[in-house]
């Protein structure tokens, strides 16, 4: 004798079964939707209750829940620096950038790879407009070791090399002179100033620099390297500000101008360019691919854990 099929109410099925217990795909989908709807309703109800309780009790009410983000779930890192630590203060007084922070004026040389295309040259020529006391030189057929020697003999404090591959800018090298270190960055998401909607024109004023969210020892080294490219005494009348913001080991560059509508209200006008950097390597000394000692070398396996950062 064949037993008649029983009609099970979906609400009751959600309680009695999990979707994995149901063989019928249509019913599994229905139960999954019911479960998600119930969880969403319970979550929203709990949020409203906590909000009412906070409004009723004030400071004695339950604290607002913080959203879970990749940054908030960051893997603990022993190299995170406390800037107030006396030991760290002693270290930075002796590092490669200490002379700059004692008042040495930056002087930067900018060049490209050999036989560059128009995009690499155009991108490289932006840096003399961004950085004070910076000059662009065509690469021609000089080796990098010769260029480093040239810069040292003429008291340049930094060398920036823009590299391209297949007509697209792909890396940026910054070599701090005379004794390094040398950093290599991958460059992505370049937007030139003329492509930015509502963008303004850059002036010759010395820009203010904001270096944000560099927390580890390696991150502080990179932050100080960027800071050594800019003047310690910016010209605030120009209202130019350059920002290097680190988020999940991606460094975002933006440049703006303050637009004061009144004494209490100001807007930002983006000047450009926009681009994103990712640190690929940092080595002691000036450029040396054969015997250089690496402080950091990015490897593919480092991207497996999305909650682990080096900067």
Q: pLDDT tens across 187-211, in order?
A: 999 999 999 998 888 888 899 999 9
Helix, coil or strand: residue 8: coil
- Alpha-carbon distance 118 to 39, whole Å? 55
Answer whether CATH 3.60.150.10 is correct for domain 86-303. Answer: no
Q: What's the longest Cα–Cα distance across the chain? A: 101
Q: pLDDT tens across 121-153, in order?
A: 999 999 999 998 899 999 888 999 899 999 999
- Alpha-carbon distance 260 to 238, whole Å? 12
pLDDT value of position 249: 92
pLDDT value of position 13: 47
Model-level pTM? 0.80
Instruction: Please name which of 99, 61, 88, 59 lies closest in space to residue 220, comparing C-alpha atoms.
Output: 88
pLDDT value of position 246: 95
Instruction: Please name which of 159, 207, 166 lies closest in space to residue 184, comparing C-alpha atoms.
Output: 159
- Alpha-carbon distance 309 to 169, whole Å? 25
Under DSSP, the state recorded for 216 is B
Q: Band the pLDDT of 161: cuts 50, 70, 90.
A: very high
User: Under 8 Å CB-to-CB from 18, ≥6 apart: which residues?
Assistant: 31
What is the enclosing helix (H) or strand (E) of 50?
helix 25-57
The total of other beta-carbon atoms located within 10 Å of residue 134's CB is 18
The total of other beta-carbon atoms located within 10 Å of residue 213's CB is 15
- Give the Å distances, CA to CA, from 276 to 142, 199, 247: 28, 18, 10
What ranges do the domains of the chain cover? 10-58, 86-303
Q: Band the pLDDT of 37: cuts 50, 70, 90.
A: very high
Section 149-169 average pLDDT = 94
Pull the structure tokens for residue 217. Answer: 């020892």
Q: pLDDT tens across 45-98, in order?
A: 888 888 888 788 777 776 777 777 777 777 877 788 877 777 778 888 888 888
Do residues 207 and 234 make contact, with C-beta atoms less than 8 angstroms apart?
A: yes
Pull the structure tokens for residue 258. Answer: 């303050």
Looking from the CA of 193 toward its CB, the CA atoms found within 13 Å total: 18
């Amino acid at each position: 004798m064949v037993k008649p099929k029983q009609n099970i109410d979906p609400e009751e099925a959600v309680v009695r079964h999990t979707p994995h217990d149901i063989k019928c795909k249509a019913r599994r989908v229905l139960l999954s939707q019911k479960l998600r709807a119930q969880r969403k309703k319970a979550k929203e109800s709990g949020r409203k209750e906590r909000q009412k309780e906070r409004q009723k009790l004030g400071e004695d009410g339950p604290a607002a829940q913080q959203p879970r983000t990749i940054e908030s779930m960051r893997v603990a890192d022993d190299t995170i620096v406390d800037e107030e630590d006396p030991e760290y203060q002693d270290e930075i007084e002796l590092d490669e950038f200490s002379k700059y922070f004692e008042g040495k004026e930056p002087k930067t040389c900018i060049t490209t790879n050999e036989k560059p295309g128009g995009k690499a040259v155009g991108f490289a020529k932006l840096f003399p407009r961004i950085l004070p006391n910076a000059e662009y030189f065509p690469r021609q057929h000089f080796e990098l070791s010769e260029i480093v020697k040239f810069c040292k003999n003429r008291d340049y404090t930094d060398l920036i090399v823009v590299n391209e591959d297949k007509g697209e800018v792909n890396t940026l090298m910054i070599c701090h002179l005379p004794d390094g270190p040398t950093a290599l960055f991958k460059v992505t998401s370049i937007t030139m100033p003329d492509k930015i909607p509502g963008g303004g024109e850059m002036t010759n004023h010395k820009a203010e620099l904001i270096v944000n969210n560099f927390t580890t020892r390696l991150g502080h080294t990179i932050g100080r390297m960027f800071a050594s490219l800019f003047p310690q005494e910016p010209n605030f009348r120009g209202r130019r500000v350059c920002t290097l913001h680190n988020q999940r080991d991606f460094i975002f560059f933006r440049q703006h101008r303050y637009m004061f509508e009144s004494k209490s209200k100001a807007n930002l006008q983006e000047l450009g360019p926009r681009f994103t950097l990712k640190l690929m390597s940092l080595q002691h000394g000036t450029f040396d691919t054969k015997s250089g000692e690496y402080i950091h070398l990015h490897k593919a396996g480092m991207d497996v854990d999305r909650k682990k950062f080096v900067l």
